[in-house]
Structure 1
Amino acid sequence: MAFVALVALAAFTSSWTGIALGPLKVSDAFAVLALLLGVLGPFRRELNVRPWMFVPIAGAAAVLVVHIIFGSAPAEVGVIDLGRTFLGLTVVALLSLSLHYAEAVLTLKFWVLGAAANALAIPLTSAGFLPASGLASDIDISQRAVGLAFHPNSLAFSTVVAIPFACMLLFRHSRGSERLVWTAVLALYVNGLIAADSRAGLGIGLTVLFISLVIAMAATRWAALVVPIGILSLVGVIAWLLPYLQSTTRLGGQLGLLSDAGRDAYNAEGMHRFAQNVWFGAGFDEAIGTSMYVHLLSKFGLVGALSYFLFIGAVVVLMISCARGVDRALGLLGVVAALAFGVLQPGATERATYWGAMLVIAAWHSRRDTSSPLARLRSVRPDSRQLMRRGFAGGV
């Protein structure tokens, strides 16, 4: 139970990028403790280790070694980046896929609620219940909110990637009280996106919310009736909301144009640095670019960037092969949302990025894996096959 509790806390706090415990983000501290407990604790967990989990860290390490040999990057900067890659990708995959069904669903709920807590911090800070100083000292939060993140764009990113999974939980539970919770979570997400005033967050987030709701509604019993009414209602809400967003956020006005000019210059410089060393990039301390893809190429070159996308490819393949129905569709949408956001923002190793997808894979994989003790226990139930078909509908 201690292992699961630490993993759940790591997921819950993964979007709180503005909160640190010494040199580690708070989520990193919980993740490291969970990993140590799983390996060294008195109740050691059989960790689900797979080679693809270590491909990004291997690629980044290879790039670092090359730059150290040729003296083009200080070792300490590279080690910090290796740590981010390890904690944001490898550790998240390792911990998530070591969970059984009920543990994975519980942790998924914690992760979704953690992103909601990030957004909830916005009104609490405005009301004076939470201190504004120290969360993001270089951001004027009177103009853009940060929640518990270090930057408004980080708040927006963690919100966007959580939206499909909040919709998954909303439509996969029949109890009214639970549906009220996930509905409130989605409302907090929308408010968080507006308050963060990230154009990528608003544009991609509202699009992802629309698609997620349509996918989830299409899987309901009354889909033929619910989907047309739902689509018309969503279109009406967007049509009502869009003028407000254009007049009150950075989607309209000159600030967005100025931001675009700066982004174009940064990305052009990033591609120039990538062109100077196509295979291994410009070095860990020379990376530049506001796009995740440009940033990866300028920092790691093709070697590091390909290792990152091999990891993403493994996640997609596992989602397709393990999950079914609406869970698979929304899980894939969560990955696509992260990649789409990456076109406009860097954040390849944000801690919150792949928790949702990994936990859905873990839940479905443990349902199908009859070698685990929990799966063998479930197999004696008369309705175990029906529960497997229903996926998350059985709850926890």
Structure 2
Amino acid sequence: MNPHLEHLHPYPFEKLNQLKQGITAPADRDHIALSIGEPKHPTPHLIQEALLTHLHGLGNYPTTKGLPELRTNIADWIGKRFAIPGHLIDPETQVLPVNGTREALFSFAQAVIDPSDKALVVMPNPFYQIYEGAALLAGAKPYYLNTTAENDYLPNFDGVPEHVWQRCQLLYLCSPGNPTGAVIGRETHFKLLELAEKYDFLIASDECYTEIYLDENQPPQGLLQSAYQAGNKTFKRCVIFQSLSKRSNAPGLRSGFVAGDAEILAKYFQYRTYHGCAMPLPTQRASIAAWQDEIHVQTNRQQYREKFDAFIDILSPVCQIDRPAASFYIWLKTPIADTEFAQQLYAQQNVTVLPGSYLSRDSDDGNPGQNHVRIALVAPLDECIDAAQRIKNFLHTLN
């Protein structure tokens, strides 16, 4: 067996199931699950219709590179969304469809890491656990950057020692952040682009939450957008990861893309031809329909805003609760240990949230996820309102 498998940590939801084991939640309250970031808004009809219309495509093998129409539509979307001139994004060499960002974020590390060189993969802490697993199974060592309230829940890149940058082969960014919703700005991107050039590492920017944000006039900055503004018009050392799961409420479609540096993507494409991960043709056709439409995305954003408004309005009188700039998560500070909070909330109110320490690793400064829980506002509005009221009642019992 691959010896690196021994270094993998249990997945957060495995730990959560163990935490709840043996507890009988109140039978007079329906269960409300706010622990998993799985959108519950209906998948738009235009996606479903395109999928059904092209089911005959199941009779053909898809290509790893995907349909030219899909790559062209993705390139057009990147240009419009991130204000990049269309001619700078070549659908032939700078865009690859992937079966959701999860498989791509994992496989990308397997393709680009050289394990013979004491490789480090730098990542935020807390983090999406795929980053860590990808680094470990690629033969690299994770290096964690704590995201705390003192740094507005963003990594302190200025505090990274030079010897870490010297060994860094890959930097995972997550903006808007999971679980905090914090957004990395242009100036930080500029700084990271300079570091990547100086120390010869790649930047993998997980941007699957960029289309869920608070202010319609201030969409989150993207890495390719910053690269273009910095004069890096070939997006050297930059790859972004995008998905329809959150943007279009289609997590089961397993559709996304990677885009950026053509030289990197040429090697990654070679890896993917062996990986056997081509996107089914009906999925590609449904994806084309999704990337072409923004109306359902705007509606989606508005629904999340309404849930944030209601949820925060109910809880703000009894606890400190901050509204993130983007994503659909509340990163809530807890007055007791996060695991105890989650366990008791489930036992008393039949509401499931995820302990923040399950998303983090211990460091010299402690575990940055401790005394926080991640609350995913993915349930319908009425359930989110009900959950907020139950959490409020639970907090009263703690006080």
Q: Structure 1 length as normaliser, TM-score?
A: 0.32
**Structure with bigger RCO (C-alpha 8 Å, 6+ apart):** 2
Q: Which one has a larger percent strand, Structure 1 or Structure 2?
A: 2
